[in-house]
Chains A and B, each alone.
Chain A
Amino acid sequence: MRELVVLSGKGGTGKTSICGSLAVLAANKVLADCDVDAANLHLLLEPEIKSSSPFYGLPKAQINDDLCLACDLCAHLCRFNAIRGQRVLTGNCEGCGVCYHACPCEAVEMLPHIAGELHLSKTRYGPLVHANLGVAEDNSGKLVAAVRKKARQVAEAEKKELIITDGPPGVGCPVISCLSGIDLVLVVTEPTLSGMHDMERMLDLADFFNVKAVVCINKWDLHPGNTESIEASCRRRDVPVPVRLPYDQIVKEAACRAQPVVQYGSGPVVDGIVALWDELRTRLV
């Protein structure tokens, strides 16, 4: 079984649109949406949820008023300003448990709490594992790990050869969770200074994890000069850049109609994505 993760660093480069199109083109695969902060892949794939399960975050402290003597030791020790007036500010609580261990009258409990939900869905392109994290919840790195685990289970059970993962934005904890143990990463970038800046960080990260990378430049004609610098930088890093995708309103039109662009229309963008998939496929074998 092989795992392809699509990442971008910067948001809005077209990662999910491309991922949705790869979902149409690839055969015998499981899809996973690890963009758990703002999961969008399902909007393109019209999933029918088959099963859902709660996802637990780190336990958080809670103070039992009946036992509390208001000594305020917990507030004094808490490094995260999560206790004020014998109340736990759940949003600030990191779940370190210092208050729980320190309380002289055992008034602090560490309670598990539901941070989100994990879904397994059926789509016309194959099974999709996706999740939603409660608003103002953190722990997305752990949820990413849970999504990937579920996707692997499904792939094994249904004898699928490939997992295509729509990765989270950024270069932090959720992205790191996404990169461990995968076969190939596709970095979708755009020829903007921020897109280039973020691509470099993504490639550093891929290097660090010893994962092979392929770069796709979306909306390349917005700045041909920057596109050339991206390609030059990738050559220096020995990272292939098989296709340039042009700026085309068809991508937004497809998104507005909630369809993968290769399904919705035709033209240079669609041809480019098809060529991209051919390249990715040879590298995944």
Chain B
Amino acid sequence: MQVAVCAQEGSPDAAVDPRFGRCQCLVLVNRENNYWESIANPGINSSGGAGIQTAQTLVDRRVEAVLVGRIGPKAMAVFQRAGIKVFGGITGTVRESIDLYHRGKLPLLDGANSIAHAGMGGGFKKA
């Protein structure tokens, strides 16, 4: 199972990116064998709904957890409905943040810690 971290570049030693929908890059690390891969963030250039697009990508990759700085309500809603855990408080590099995560030092988020960017209401309708 993979853990995703918002990063400024595609490597485990890259600095984390506090933004979610507009983070430069996503680094995915496999918890069993430490194998890592990086994927471009598709949301970075979108004019609206960037967080949703980024979240969709990670849902499609079936990650088990996402480590973020700030995350808005729409992306958070996607993860909550998909049963993917989101942890805040990333700092330093991707590797350091993964380490904090493994040691249980990152706070589990139960809601958004950043406000909506496009439109308001922040909610979603159940299918």
Contact = CB atoms under 8 A, between A and B. Distances in A.
Chains A and B touch (C-beta atoms under 8 A apart):
yes
Contact of B117 (A58, A145, A210): A145
Contact of A176 (B47, B70, B114, B118): B118
Contact of A210 (B47, B115, B119): B115
A72 B48 CA distance: 29
B47 A209 contact: no
A57 B48 CA distance: 11
A142 B115 contact: no
A181 interface: yes
Contacts of A176: 117-120
B73 to A, nearest CB: 11
A141 interface: yes
B84 interface: no
B116 interface: yes
Contacts of B70: 181
Interface string A117-155: 000000000000000000000010110010000000000
Main secondary structure of the interface of B (DSSP, over half): loop
| Residue in B47, B70, B118 whose Cβ sees the most chain A Cβ within 10 Å | B47
A67 B52 CA distance: 34
B47 A139 contact: yes
Interface in A218-275: none
Contact of A181 (B47, B115, B118): B115
B115 A141 contact: no
A180 B115 contact: yes
A141 B118 contact: yes
B117 A209 contact: no
Interface string B91-127: 0000000000000000000000011111110000000
Nearest to A176: B120
B120 to A, nearest CB: 6
Contact of A142 (B48, B116, B119, B120): B48
Interface of A: 57-58, 139, 141-142, 145, 173, 176-177, 180-181, 208-210
Interface of B: 47-48, 70, 114-120
